[in-house]
Structure 1
Amino acid sequence: MLRRLDLTDLPDEQALRALLPRPAIDVEAALPAAAGLVHDVRERGAEALLEQAERFDRVRPEALRVPAAAIAAARDALEPAVRAALETAIARVRVGSAAQVPAPTRAEVAPGAVVELRWQPVDRVGLYVPGGKAVYPSSVVMNVVAAQAAGVPSIAVASPAQADHGGLPHPTILAACALLGVDEVYAMGGAGAIGALAHGVPGIGLAPVDVVTGPGNVFVAAAKRAVAGTVRVDSEAGPTEILVIADATADAELVAADLVSQAEHDELASAVLVTDDAGLADRVAAAVERRAVATHAAERVIASLGAEQSAIVLVRDLDDAARVSDAYAPEHLEIQTADDDAVLARIRHAGAIFLGPFAPVSLGDYAAGSNHVLPTGGQARRVAGLGAATFLRPQQVVRSDRAALAAVRDAVVALAGAEGLPAHGEAITARFEPAQFEAGRVEEAR
């Protein structure tokens, strides 16, 4: 089922990137259609959203904004075990997110010259929670808690209307919003929802936001690209990825279970094992085949694991395993080796890293306290996963007394002159001249 890729003779990084398995996702190709849906919502507002719900979700919501009573009813009807699990996840992600808020800093660059850095939350955010093949109350938790930890005062959540639930988002999504104290929820999905959050929809009281985050399909990713000049967006989330670095000491059954767990998401999900041990590769391959056919979403799992984007990669040693992982820059990286920290020290690029046999990706999906909204498609090479900092802006505060300004007066004047901006320098020297508007000087000026 899982194809083999022999990289025991490792090529250079550029060639390696081309060899590694990836799903065929083309955000650029989806951009015209997504941009058209965004434009339609911007121009026609609520009517466009309702038409898009009929077209894509097979239902026309009675109201795009979910009534408060429906949110409260979903919370009250929540199965006790699921409510307890959500409350556990919320509590743990609150602790993890609070730790992500950067502390203000103060640098005295010279006596009397200080530069401070403070972090300010944006005023308003729009958080997208997908529908599709599964229900994601955990994504509500990850998005909302991170924004709340940052101190964002206004939060709107959007999730697709569900034909099976009377045109409302899935009740478990609504219940999670209620547990988090979010009462501004909209039944809208896909690219249109991203456009509505970015541009606002006055007809339903939806004010535009400053930041849009949350996972979704390729059209959601393309819509984020279309609105990126209007709002800040997080990474363009694509199909989920797991890469496991394992050696001969790893438990093949656990590795197989983790590969299958992520393949469960989508036929385009990527599951990759990188190992220096052919025996482990054989054992994992056998365990994957056995588990894949027995799991609930067997058809989806088999499609994912048998496709081009999933593989067992054989390498010469764990140094090369780390090189392969960095070239891939996975959304989720698991390390299960005799010395996990030694391998970790070689890793530079990954969305989130899970060490050892008792830290599977599934833990991070729900209750590790980390955030599961992570960069895919190699974006971990340049962007971070969702966290409190996503909703914060650093601001520099400059303090200087007269002596500190005097110490750099000549340098500023010289640089201003070199740039052809003499008034910049004059703004400095003016502070060391006698008062310009003393009575005698005023009369002289006249």
Structure 2
Amino acid sequence: MPKIQRLSTTDPDFNTQLDALLAWDSVSDSAVRQRVAEIIEQVRQRGDAALCDYTSRFDGWQPTSAAALELPLERLRQALRAIPAAQREALDLAAARIRAYAERQRLQSWEYIEADGTLLGQKITPLDRVGLYVPGGKAAYPSSVLMNAVPAKVAGVAELIMVVPTPRGELNELVLAAAAIAGVDRVFALGGAQAIAALAYGTETVPAVDKVVGPGNIYVATAKRAVFGQVGIDMVAGPSEILILCDGQTDPDWIAMDLFSQAEHDEDAQSILVSWDAAYLERVLASIERLLPGMERADTIATSLTSRGALILARDQDDATRVANRIAPEHLELSVADPQALAAKIRHAGAIFMGRHTAEALGDYCAGPNHVLPTSRTARFSSPLGVYDFQKRSSLIMASPAGAANLAATASKLARGEGLTAHARSAELRGDPG
């Protein structure tokens, strides 16, 4: 049974204990960074040849040529036709819900005209080409395909390039089917840091993209960090997290299973329950101990709960809310009588799941909002992936003759104050009615 930590906000060293519990070093060590740098350099220098070599070495199959790395779109459609009808229906429904939510996020261009005729505005343009990394090692995630690809297509991205590792040449049919449903344009059987390098810099076969999105292992995350600036990236995510605030009135078995749902991801995932009912924490602990032996990933869950999990006793709901805002979790469940009132007090969370019947797992697959969320307390300053991540903004400025004259004096004073006389003269020339 897991030895899950027990904390109380009344402990004199509570903040120190909480900081230690939340601490997560997502920075890869020097050996990983050096290896990734070598792979990126090899891909930049040798292009397709490096991709074929790394595929043979890391994925265990030898492409006959670089062209063999690309999967024909008919292979995606074939997978879609072959999967069981129930899985096809589930993918279709999830995609439709994600698309409906994403449609509401699309940014629109706007402009206005000032009294002197000067036009100001903002032009919204979709990215030209985006790369989507999909894990294909220990587990495959068709849900990640939908969550990344559908918003990109809603945004109007012209070309979406998916890369997915294929260990021993094996393809995951659900991942390919999801790519077909989402409208992915090209797919390459590539993984690891070499795939990220190919997307960032391009090779003879793989086109360079403008932004790279999608989850991956430490090598993928390190490579994304390394190529940032050459291309945009969505984020460098840490382990999955769930924080639950409960008033003690929800079935403890439900809450235990919600904690398990994140802990089963991997040993570093974090599951925390905060309640202001001490007896309820004991009931949840009893549920954990009773239900855990029947879980398929019991060992992983136990390790996660022991190393990074916690049951926290708060003074009251307001105290629990302060803890939640300090943690700034990826997933936050508000399992209370009036979740909307409590949600109004939450300042930092990736996604907020309100009410006793809203399991976080619904958000992972089919609720509609994106499951790509900020982790490791980055919800303090960042947001879920959305359509806006695949759009960019350009400012629009069109000065009328009168507007140029009105602005010239101000621009000239500021420019001369900075010692930039060419700037000043440029404005003055257009502002001179003579």
Q: How many Å apart are 1:94 and its aligned residue?
A: 0.5
Structure 1 gaps, min length 5: 436-446
Q: How many Å apart are 1:70 and its aligned residue?
A: 2.4
Q: How many Å apart are 1:266 and its aligned residue?
A: 1.5
For the pair shown, which has the larger CA radius of gyration, 1 or 2? Answer: 1
Query: Could you tell me whether the CA contact under 8 Å between 2:329 and 2:349 is conserved in 1?
Result: yes
Q: Which residue matches 2:333?
A: 334
Q: Is 1:213 matched up with 2:218?
A: no
Query: Could you tell me whether the CA contact under 8 Å between 1:61 and 1:187 is conserved in 2?
Result: no
Q: RMSD value over aligned CA atoms?
A: 2.2
The alpha-carbon distance between structure 1 residues 369 and 68, as it changes in their structure 2 partners (threshold 3 A), is same
Matching residue's letter, 1:83: R
- The one of 44, 47, 52 aligned to 1:45: 47
1:405, 1:15 → 2: CA distance?
58
2:61, 2:207 → 1: CA distance?
24
1:115, 1:266 → 2: CA distance?
50
Q: How does 1:7-406 map to 2 (within 5 A)?
A: 7-9=8-10, 15=16, 18-22=19-23, 25-29=26-30, 30-62=32-64, 63-107=68-112, 111-163=116-168, 167-202=169-204, 205-306=205-306, 308-406=307-405
The alpha-carbon distance between structure 1 residues 362 and 113, as it changes in their structure 2 partners (threshold 3 A), is same
Matching residue's letter, 1:385: P
1:277, 1:337 → 2: CA distance?
12
Q: How many Å apart are 1:267 and its aligned residue?
A: 2.0
Task: Pick which of 40-49 and 280-289 moved more.
Answer: 40-49
Matching residue's letter, 2:309: S
Task: Find runs of 4+ consecutive structure 1 residues off by over 6 angstroms.
Answer: 10-14
Matching residue's letter, 1:60: Q
Matching residue's letter, 1:74: A
Q: How many Å apart are 1:32 and its aligned residue?
A: 2.4
Q: Secondary structure at the match of 2:308?
A: coil
TM-score (norm 2): 0.92
The alpha-carbon distance between structure 1 residues 184 and 146, as it changes in their structure 2 partners (threshold 3 A), is same
Q: How many Å apart are 1:41 and its aligned residue?
A: 1.9
Query: Could you tell me whether the CA contact under 8 Å between 1:218 and 1:238 is conserved in 2?
Result: no
1:371, 1:424 → 2: CA distance?
45
Matching residue's letter, 2:27: D
TM-score (norm 1): 0.90
Q: Secondary structure at the match of 2:291?
A: helix
Q: Secondary structure at the match of 1:27?
A: coil
Q: Secondary structure at the match of 2:236?
A: coil
Task: Pick which of 4-13 and 334-343 moved more.
Answer: 4-13
Query: Could you tell me whether the CA contact under 8 Å between 1:4 and 1:314 is conserved in 2?
Result: no
Task: Pick which of 6-15 and 281-290 moved more.
Answer: 6-15
Task: Pick which of 351-360 and 13-22 moved more.
Answer: 13-22
The alpha-carbon distance between structure 1 residues 31 and 347, as it changes in their structure 2 partners (threshold 3 A), is farther
Query: Could you tell me whether the CA contact under 8 Å between 2:159 and 2:185 is conserved in 1?
Result: no
Q: How many Å apart are 1:185 and its aligned residue?
A: 0.4
Matching residue's letter, 2:268: L
Q: Secondary structure at the match of 1:395?
A: strand
Matching residue's letter, 1:137: P
Structure 2 gaps, min length 5: none
Query: Could you tell me whether the CA contact under 8 Å between 1:235 and 1:379 is conserved in 2?
Result: no
Matching residue's letter, 1:78: I
Query: Could you tell me whether the CA contact under 8 Å between 2:408 and 2:431 is conserved in 1?
Result: no
1:12, 1:408 → 2: CA distance?
58
